[in-house]
Structure formats: structure tokens, C-alpha cells
Amino acid sequence: MKPRTHLAPAESQPNPNCMPGALPILHWRNDRTSGTDTITYNNGYMMVPEAGDYFVYTQITFFCPDGKCKDMTYCGRNVSEETSITQIISKLSSSYGSQPIQQLATSVYIGEKDKWKKTLYLGGVIQLRRHDKLMVNISNPTLVVTRSPEITFFGAFLI
């Protein structure tokens, strides 16, 4: 069986690791109990068991409830001052050192400032080596809809 996994968002997100020049990592959970997932997940990172071309995808839904975004912050930033939301798939590879390498990215203008909902989908083919790790970095982690795995998810499979 080819390596694959499909993850749902962790309902409780840890405090974002706020590093200069980097967006926080979104955390996930594996709800599938069949044991067919051969890509492992640990603490924000999925790790592939073998080299090859993988289709990697993620969809994140962000929601700003009426009047509450003004009081939300992440990494010392006020959410109401943000003009866009961003989603990035990055990889960590022992062959490239310890810095994440951005693989795919998308961003959208928020526009509304009081109540809004936006969904970003990102998917593409990434060449990976055995034990490479993938992660999803996002802006505004406090706005991610984590209780609906059908609208926020992260997955990969070997092509």
C-alpha cells in the first residue's frame, strides 16, 4: 500500500511558536482508526516513510465572528489589523539543514473587518526524501475553524 494520510485539525491548538519571519505551525490529529495511514504525524509535522513524488494538500477555513476579531491576538499582533490570511506548506529535510523550506503558498485579502469567513485550499506535487517532514504554517491561528474536519484538513499521498 502506498503511503498516505488525511488529518483533521487539533481542536486545541498550543500557543503559537512565534519566531521572527515565520508563521505559526498548525497542529493536527488523526481521526482514522483503520491503521491504513503509513505517513506518521507528530507535534505539527507529518513524516513520509519513503522517497517519491507526493500530492500534498491542505484546506483551512478561517472565521471571524461578529465583533470578536478586535480582541484576538497572535504572536503579539492584533488580528483586526491584518489585511490578509496566509497558508503555507513547508518541508524540513535533513539534507537541507534545520530551516523549513516553503513549498506551496496562498494568501487572500480579508476585506471585511467585522464578520467574515474565508477558505483557502492549497495542493500540489512535492518531491520528498525518506523521513522528510511537512508542516502547515498559517497567519491568524486563532481564527481557524478546528471543530469541522470536513472544512479544515491536511493530507498527502505518494503518487
> What is the CATH classification number for the domain harbouring 21?
2.60.120.40
Contact status, residue 110 vs residue 82, Cβ threshold 8 Å: yes
In the chain, how many domains are there? Answer: 1
Average pLDDT over residues 98-121: 84
Residue 61 domain flag: yes
What mean pLDDT do residues 20-49 have? 84
Q: Which three three-digit cell numbers place residue 152?
A: 479544515
Query: Is 60 exceeded by the pLDDT of residue 67?
Result: no
C-alpha cell at 32: 482514522
**53 to 3, 25, 42, 116, 126: CA distances (angstroms):** 11, 23, 21, 36, 6
Residue 154 lies in a domain: no
Q: Single out the residue of 37, 35, 43, 41 nearest to residue 14, CA to CA.
A: 43
Report whether pLDDT(16) > 70: no
pLDDT at position 28 is: 94
pLDDT given at position 82? 73
Q: What is the pLDDT of residue 17?
A: 67
User: What is the pLDDT at residue 100?
Assistant: 87
Answer yes or no: is 17 within a domain.
Answer: yes
Q: Is residue 149 part of a domain?
A: no
Q: Residues near 150 by Cβ (< 8 Å), separated by ≥ 6?
A: none
Q: How confident is the model at residue 35 (pLDDT cuts 50, 70, 90)?
A: low
47 assigned to some structural domain: yes
What's the rounded Cα separation, in Å, for the pair 150 and 144?
13
Mean pLDDT value across the chain: 86
Domain that holds residue 38: 4-143
| Residue 73 in this model has a pLDDT that exceeds 80 | no
Least confident segment among 11-15, 94-98, 127-131, 144-148: 11-15
